[in-house]
Amino acid sequence: MELVPLTKYNYLKAVKLCVAPEQEKFVGTVADAIADAHFCDDCEMRALEVNREFVGFIMWQGPHLSRLLIDCHHQRKGYGTMAVKLFIETFPGRQVTLQTKVDNTAAIALYTNLGFKSIADHGGAVYMVR
Ligand SMILES: CC(C)(COP(=O)(O)OP(=O)(O)OC[C@H]1O[C@@H](n2cnc3c(N)ncnc32)[C@H](O)[C@@H]1OP(=O)(O)O)[C@@H](O)C(=O)NCCC(=O)NCCS
C-alpha cells in the first residue's frame, strides 16, 4: 500500500470512494474532507493506493487521525489496518490519537487490535490513544 498525496490530477478518483450506506453515519465523504482540509493549516490527506487503484482515504492533523475510510468494495482485506499502521509510523515515538463513534464497532475493533486504548467517551464519541 502506498499513501498518495492528493493533487489536481488524482483527486476526482479519491472523491469517488464510498462506504456502505449503513456506514455513512460514521464518516464524511472525501469531498467533505477536501473542503475541511482547505481551511486547516496542518491537515494531511492521502489516498490509499494498492495495485495502482485507490482503495481508501486517510487524513490526519498532526498525530491525530481525523478520517479513515476504505471503499466498500475493498473492506475486510486488511487495508484499514495497513493504513493506520502507516499513519502510526509517520509519528515515530509519538502518542497518536483518534475519535470514533461509540457504535462503530468495526473501527473500534480495528484500532484496539493495533493497541489503541479508549480513554474517554462523551456525546456518542470515544477517544482513543496509542
Ligand atoms: C472501519 C474500516 C476503516 C475498516 O476497514 P477494513 O479495511 O475493512 O478493516 P480491516 O480489513 O483492516 O479489518 C481489521 C479489523 O477490523 C474489524 N472489522 C473491520 N470491518 C469489520 C466489520 N464490517 N464488522 C466487524 N468488524 C470489522 C475486524 O476486527 C477486523 O479484523 P478481522 O478481519 O481479522 O476480523 C471500514 O469498515 C470503513 O471504511 N468503515 C466506514 C468508515 C469508518 O467507519 N471509518 C472510521 C471512522 S473513525
Q: Sketch out the chain's domains with CATH numbers.
A: 2-93 (3.40.630.30)
Collapse the DSSP code of 104 into the 3-class scheme (helix H, G, I; strand E, B; otherwise coil) and give the result: coil
Q: Residue range 45-63: average pLDDT?
A: 98
Judged on CB neighbours under 10 Å (0-12, 13-18, 19+), 1 is middle
Cell matching residue 34? 477536501
Residue 109: band (very low, low, confident or very high) from pLDDT cuts 50, 70, 90? very high
In tens, the pLDDT along 71-100 reads 999 999 999 999 999 999 999 999 999 999
Q: Give the position, in ligand 1's atom list, of the atom nearest the Cα of 56.
A: 39
Pocket test for ligand 1, best of 18, 19, 60, 70 (most atoms within 8 A of CB): 70
In tens, the pLDDT along 58-76 reads 999 999 999 999 999 999 9
What pLDDT was estimated at residue 66?
97
Length of the chain: 130
Q: Please work out whether the CB of residue 76 comes within 6 Å of at least one atom of ligand 1.
A: yes
Cell matching residue 47? 489516498
Q: Residue range 4-28: average pLDDT?
A: 97
Kindly report the number of other CB atoms within 10 A of residue 39's CB atom: 7
pTM of the predicted structure, to 2 decimals: 0.97
Cell matching residue 80? 484499514
